[in-house]
Structure 1
Amino acid sequence: MPASPTFTHTQVPLTIAGVQLNVAAIHREGELAPIVFLHGFGSSKEDYADITLREEFAGHPFLAYDAPGCGESRCSDLDAISINFLMQTALHMLEHFKIRRFHLVGHSMGGLTALMLADQFPQRVISFVDIEGNIAPEDCFLSRQIVDYPSDDPEAFFADFIERARHAPAYASALYSASLRHKVRAGAVGGIFRSMVELSDNADLMGSFLGLPCPTMFMYGEQNRSLSYLPHIQDHGVRLAQIPACGHFPMYSNPGAMWQQIADFHTSCNG
């Protein structure tokens, strides 16, 4: 007998600013407050599927989906993709699933998208777990490669990016690199990275993050404990969660610690 499904997999057709999308999502229903997950660059919705195996989250509905240009999602115009476009996608997905108020979890690119969403619609966000999402220029260690290694050929840039990731001296970097070509369309990379750099360098992301009215947690890998702003955000009431034996990818390097930190944080929010 096949196992009972732990979540539902679906495709959601959307049109945003004239761009046709077919967004691949996983979700489940529940009686408690929903949790919305936004994955990072080169990751996917499946990063968060194990929530169905964690007793701490029993009863919580959840939504995770592949961003446009990523995973199983399809996009008719890859050049249109930016952080703002990803935020608009999030709004449309929330509307489709009739999610009004929710716990928000975002990693890296998804953390920045989540921050923009929470900043514009603070009344809808119950809590925000930011997993190394961009809040300062120093966070562009991946995206700034679009500036540091310029190329007119998206395929060539992406191939070189993958090779650099393969040899980066950080936990899970080689594992991360192995699936990049399967999880991201090369034509989407430039717009995503340029908008991440632009926002990190010129928008007041730190002010937006510290100004959120909801409880916030910033999660980071042990290898990134030297981030200069950690004491500053802690002094402003942000809960810090350092994940041992981990770099930028807690969902690959130490998922048990990641889930436990999120669960403990949500428990404190419900308090």
Structure 2
Amino acid sequence: MPQEFTRSVFSLVVDGTAMNVSAIHRDGEKAPIVFLHGFGSTKEDYADIVRYAEFAGHPFLAYDAPGCGETVCSDLTKPGIPFLLETALEMLQRVGFVRFHLVGHSLGGLTALMLAQRYPERVISFVDIEGNIAPEDCFLSRQIVDHPRESAEQFLEDFIERTRQAPAWASALYAASLRHKVRAGAVGGIFRSMVELSDNGDLMNKFLGLPLPRMFMYGAQNASLSYLKYIRERGVALAEIPDCGHFPMYSNPVQMWRAIAAFHQAHRECEASGSA
């Protein structure tokens, strides 16, 4: 069968930690798109980009974060937002993306925010899919504080059961694969880092201060987020995805992709110097 993207493994050393990072990517003549997945998800969340004509010709990169999916990390105590940010920068160097559209979901959205805040000149646009920008966004990660357990394995098992029963779109589907998509030893560091930044990292001002087009995407089930009107009034485009909670890539992927494509189209002029 013809390959519509390439699957590669990149050997990296970040902060003294060896990793084999599993990625999917393709080349193209247009502006690149970088996808950072959420906690307990994988690069395959974004493989369907090849199914949408609106993205034809755009190179893309999606990879499994340390502690997730098929990526092998030699020290599972290392993953946290700073480590994930450095991993992202190493991966961008490996694939040669200089300027790019950035799309991040949840954990990936928070990592993407830190990347865009450090190097705004490299980011053409930023689609934040329910990435953390306020303390209220820690409804998953704060469980590491609210439901502590003696072992990482027990915490993950309990987390899976709570998630399976959550009254939200796609929660049971998401829960079903969690133990296969995330290493238990990585969960604590990731979650604590997310909580610390959400509570004390001035994320809202970082997000609003980005000098580039931004869209915040959220599921209709989460339309009660307290800051939506506030960020819209400050120039952030909003995309509400119907029949959806925290996981548009599982509950309503067609609307997710259409919203991303429309946002990119609206800012096509920003791509002038965005090629790899």
Please indicate, yes or no, whether the TM-score normalized by the shorter chain is above 0.5: yes
* Superposed displacement of residue 152, structure 1: 2.1
Question: What SS is found at the alignment partner of 1:129?
Answer: strand
Question: What SS is found at the alignment partner of 1:79?
Answer: coil
Question: What SS is found at the alignment partner of 2:267?
Answer: helix
Aligned partner (choices 65, 69, 74) of residue 72 of structure 2 = 74
CA distance in 2 between counterparts of 1:151 and 1:135 reads 27
AA at the equivalent of 2:247 = F
Aligned partner (choices 154, 171, 186) of residue 173 of structure 1 = 171
Write the mapping of 1:34-49 to structure 2, written as runs, cut at 5 A.
Answer: 34-49=32-47
AA at the equivalent of 2:132 = N
State percent identity of aligned pairs: 70
Question: What SS is found at the alignment partner of 1:157?
Answer: helix
Residue 85 (structure 2) pairs with residue 87 (structure 1) = yes
CA distance in 2 between counterparts of 1:142 and 1:47 reads 19
Count how many residue pairs are aligned between Structure 1 and Structure 2: 269
Corresponding residue for 2:6? Answer: 8
Write the mapping of 1:1-271 to structure 2, written as runs, cut at 5 A.
Answer: 3-271=1-269
AA at the equivalent of 2:122 = R
- Residue by residue, what CA displacement relative to the aligned partner does 1:4-42 show, whole Å, maximum 9, x if unpaired? 011000000000111000000000000000000000001
Question: What SS is found at the alignment partner of 1:168?
Answer: coil
Q: Which runs of 5+ in 2 are unaligned?
A: 270-276
Question: What SS is found at the alignment partner of 2:54?
Answer: helix
- Residue by residue, what CA displacement relative to the aligned partner does 1:78-99 show, whole Å, maximum 9, x if unpaired? 0011011000000000000011
- Residue by residue, what CA displacement relative to the aligned partner does 1:122-143 show, whole Å, maximum 9, x if unpaired? 0000000000000000000000
Question: What SS is found at the alignment partner of 2:84?
Answer: helix
Task: Give the root-mean-square deviation of aligned CA atoms.
Answer: 0.5
Q: Which runs of 4+ in 1 moved over 2 A?
A: none
Q: Normalised by the size of structure 1, how large is the TM-score?
A: 0.99
Q: Normalised by the size of structure 2, how large is the TM-score?
A: 0.97
* Superposed displacement of residue 151, structure 1: 1.4
CA distance in 2 between counterparts of 1:5 and 1:252 reads 23
Q: Which runs of 5+ in 1 are unaligned?
A: none
CA distance in 1 between counterparts of 2:56 and 2:109 reads 24
